[in-house]
């Protein structure tokens, strides 16, 4: 009997240790899944916000963003904070020397140009007077900066200006026409800024290409061709 009691008292702690280890492993695995899910959704949110090239990692529900230009830090932080389940966000801005393009080091000139245009439009979108194809003063300044980038690109580089509008109860043709007029207006600004007319095309997509996530569907995109 004494041996039996000792056997019981020996087995009970072993069972507790095994149970605790299994529970700990399950908790670690579940935590890893949460961190991976938050990171995936945060990367999607950054992409929708126009923040490219950033890295996101999580410890529990606390996120850290790295590789973000200083002028996009607040936008990146807001995008990730809006992700459900995120508790805290820390942003480590990229160290970029003054006058150095954010795309420095990219071997493909077209990819480098696209990255610069995307960064510019994310920080300063080309805006319009509501319900018109008339660019605002800020929108004109942004278009002028885009023109400077395109002019400096290698010969033969072309761009497509894509106009997009938000989905409304109105008919599709009205939406397409307004988006085309806005794309044409920006294309004209690029030409006025010195870009060869042959290098610029304009396409109105109406409301057929809504931006994923919480992005604004009312936008103009410039795609390098």
CA distance 137 to 147: 15
My answer on whether 88 and 179 are in the same domain is no
For position 187, which CATH number holds?
A: 3.30.1330.60
Q: What single string gives the DSSP state of each residue in 7-20?
A: HHHHHHHHHHHHHH
**Residue in 198, 205, 200 with CA at minimum distance from that of residue 182:** 205
To the nearest 5 percent, what fractions of the chain are helix, strand and coil?
50, 15, 35
Are 127 and 25 found together in one domain?
no
Q: Which of 66, 93, 120 is the last residue of a domain?
A: 93
**Number of residues in the chain:** 225
Residue 84 sits at the vertex; the CA angle it makes with 69 and 77, to the nearest 5 degrees, is 15
Identify the domain containing residue 45 by its residue range. Answer: 2-93
Count of structural domains within the chain: 2
3 state DSSP class of 131: coil
Overall pTM > 0.85: no
Residues 114 and 216 in one domain: yes
Q: Is residue 104 part of a domain?
A: no
Q: How far is CA 122 from CA 57, 125, 141, in A?
A: 22, 6, 14
In a domain, 185, yes or no: yes
* Residue ranges, the chain, pLDDT below 50: 1-3, 7-12, 14-18, 21-26, 28-29, 95-105
Helix (H, G, I), strand (E, B) or coil at 96: coil
pLDDT recorded at residue 9: 47
| Same structural domain, 86 and 176 | no
Residue 1 to residue 81: CA distance in whole angstroms: 63
Mark whether 184 and 150 lie in a shared domain.
Answer: yes
Do 8 and 86 lie in one domain? The reply is yes
Residue 79 CA to its chain's centroid (Å): 9
Instruction: State the Cα–Cα distance between residues 14 and 9, nearest whole angstrom.
Output: 9
Task: Kindly state whether residues 142 and 180 are assigned to the same domain.
Answer: yes
Does residue 119 sit in the same domain as residue 209?
yes
79 within a domain of the structure (yes/no): yes
What are 19-70's pLDDT values in tens digits?
554 444 445 445 568 888 888 899 888 878 888 777 888 888 888 888 777 7
């Amino acid at each position: 009997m004494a041996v039996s009691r000792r056997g019981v008292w020996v087995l009970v702690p072993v069972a507790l240790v095994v149970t605790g280890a299994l529970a700990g492993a399950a908790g670690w695995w579940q935590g890893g899944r949460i961190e991976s899910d938050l990171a995936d959704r945060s990367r999607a949110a950054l992409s929708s916000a126009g923040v490219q090239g950033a890295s996101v990692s999580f410890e529990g529900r606390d996120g850290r963003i790295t590789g973000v230009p200083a002028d996009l830090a607040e936008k990146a932080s807001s995008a990730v904070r809006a992700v459900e389940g995120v508790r805290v966000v820390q942003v480590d801005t990229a160290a970029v020397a003054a006058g150095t393009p954010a795309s420095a080091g990219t071997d493909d000139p077209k990819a480098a140009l696209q990255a610069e245009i995307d960064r510019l439009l994310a920080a300063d979108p080309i805006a319009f007077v509501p319900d018109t194809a008339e660019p605002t003063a800020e929108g004109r300044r942004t278009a002028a900066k885009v023109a400077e980038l395109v002019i400096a690109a290698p010969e033969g580089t072309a761009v497509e200006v894509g106009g997009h509008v938000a989905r409304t109860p109105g008919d599709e043709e009205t939406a397409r026409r307004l988006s085309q007029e806005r794309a044409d207006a920006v294309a004209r600004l690029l030409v006025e800024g010195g870009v060869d007319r042959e290098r610029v095309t304009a396409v109105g997509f109406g409301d057929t290409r809504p931006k994923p996530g919480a992005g604004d569907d009312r936008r103009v995109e410039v795609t390098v061709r």
